[in-house]
A = this chain, B = another copy of it.
Amino acid sequence: MSPSSQFVPAERILLGPGPSPVPQRVLRAMAAPTLGHLDPQYLAIMDDACEKLRQVFRTRNALTFPVSGTGMAGMECVAVNLIEPGDEVIVCVNGVFGSRMKDVMERCGATVHALEATWGDVFTLDQIRTTLERHPKTKLVGIVHAETSTGAHQPLEGLAELVHGHGALLVVDAVTSLGGHELRVDDWGIDAIYSGTQKCLSCPPGLSPVSFGDRALARFDARKTKPQSWYLDVSMLRKYYTGGGGGRVYHHTAPINMTYALHEALAIVLEEGLDARIARHAAMHQRLRAGLEAMGIRYVPARSLATLNCIHIPAGADDAGVRRRLLEEYGIEIGAGLGPMAGKAWRIGLMGHGSSVRNVDLVLAALRTVLR
C-alpha cells in the first residue's frame, strides 16, 4: 500500500453548472462495498432508487430508471429509442443543449425542423403551434426545460396538449431542473424525459435518470427497426429494470456504487420534500439575484432559472482572471460562458445541496472583492 497515491482533492464549493456539491451522506453511501448486479440486495436498492425517481419526477411511469452514463447518455437514450430513420421531429433551439438535441436526433436519422429563438429567450405555445402546423408529419417535439447554457427557464404547462393534438410526442430535457424546479411529468403530459444526477439531485455525475410514458413506449413497440444503440435499447433495459421476479434479465453490468449514491441522494431530496426543496431553490435565487443586481450585474435570460444564474460579465472584468481568483482564493467554482456565450457570461449554479444562504452570501462577498 502506498499512502502517497491517495488523491486528496481541494475542498471546492461547486457553484458552476454542475457537478453541484455532494453531501457527505451520499459520498459515504457510494463507498459501501460493491455488490453483484444480480444480487437480491442490489436489485432491492435499485428498485427502490427507481421508485424514488418516480416520486421526484412526479410520475407513475413504470419505465423510470437511471441510464448508465452521464446526462447526455440520457438524451441519447430517449432519442435512439423514439426516433427511426426518416422521422420528422421539431427541436426547440435556444442554447447549447437544444443545439445538441438537434445533433443527437439527426444522428438517429431524423429530419429535424429546428425552431430557433434568441439565446436567453424561451418559446411560446404560439411559436410551437405554428411550427407544428408547418410540419404536419412531426412525430416528436423536443424542448429543454432548463437551458444550462443561458439560464433560461422554459414553461411547459399546456405544451403536451398542443403536441399531442398534432399526434406527436413531447420529449423534455430536465438535466438542470429535476429536483430544483417544479416539474410534473404526469400532470404535464411529458412522454419521455431525461436528467442528470450531478445537478439538483447533488449526486456525483455518472447516471442519467430517464422516464418513458405509455405513449412513448407504444411508439417504441411499433418500431420497424432496432434502435441503433444496443447499450441504450429500452427493449432490453426494461427487462432488467422493470422485469421483477423471475422475469429479470441481465443486460449490462449496472454501475453499482453509483446506484447507492443516487439512492441516498434521492432519499435526501424526499426527506426535504419536493415542494420545500423547490421553494429553497427559488429563495436562494432571489437572494443571489438581489445581491448581483445591487452590484449592477444583469441577467442574460428574461426568465431565469433558480438553479442556474447566467449573468453578463461586467464591463472591464477579466473573465478567466476572475474565475481563477474565485477558485484559488475562495475555492469557489463558477461556470464560464458556453458556446457563443464564452467570454460574455458567467454561470452561477445554486443546485441541490449547493443552494444555501452560506454559499449565496459567500459568492456575493467573493465577487465584490474580486471585481473591486
Contacts and interface: CB of A to CB of B under 8 A. Distances in A.
Interface of A: 1-2, 5-12, 14, 16, 18-19, 21-22, 25, 27-37, 39, 41-42, 45, 68-73, 76, 100, 103-104, 107-108, 196, 198, 204-206, 226-231, 250, 252-258, 260-261, 263-264, 267, 271, 327, 333, 338
A185 B218 CA distance: 45
A25 B5 CA distance: 10
B22 A34 contact: yes
A333 B70 contact: no
23 contacts: A7-B45, A7-B264, A9-B41, A9-B45, A10-B35, A11-B33, A16-B36, A19-B35, A19-B253, A22-B34, A27-B32, A34-B204, A34-B205, A39-B333, A68-B73, A71-B252, A76-B229, A100-B230, A107-B226, A107-B229, A205-B256, A228-B228, A229-B229
Given A9-B45, A12-B33, A204-B257, 6 more contacts: A19-B36, A28-B31, A70-B254, A72-B252, A198-B256, A255-B258
Contacts of A68: 69-70, 73, 206
Quickly give the copy total for this chain: 2
Contact of A228 (B9, B107, B231): B107
Given A76-B231, A103-B230, A229-B229, A253 B18 contact: yes
Contacts of A333: 36, 39
A196 to B, nearest CB: 7
A256 B19 contact: yes
Given A37-B205, A103-B230, A228-B107, A255 B7 contact: no
Contact of A14 (B1, B36, B45, B263): B36
Contacts of A256: 19, 198, 204-206
Nearest to A336: B38
Nearest to A202: B34
Contacts of A36: 12, 14, 16, 19, 333
Given A70-B255, A230-B107, A255-B258, A35 B9 contact: yes
A260 B204 CA distance: 12
Contacts of A204: 34, 255-258
A113 B167 CA distance: 40
A26 to B, nearest CB: 9
A338 B108 CA distance: 31
A19 B256 CA distance: 9
Contacts of A33: 9, 11-12, 22, 27
A305 B30 CA distance: 31
Contact of A32 (B8, B196, B254): B8
A85 to B, nearest CB: 10
Contacts of A327: 39
The 7 tightest CB contacts between A and B, nearest first, are: A206-B255, A31-B31, A204-B257, A5-B267, A27-B31, A69-B69, A205-B253
Nearest to A40: B327
Contacts of A1: 25, 271
Contacts of A100: 230
Contacts of A6: 25, 28-29, 264
Given A69-B231, A205-B256, A34 B7 contact: no
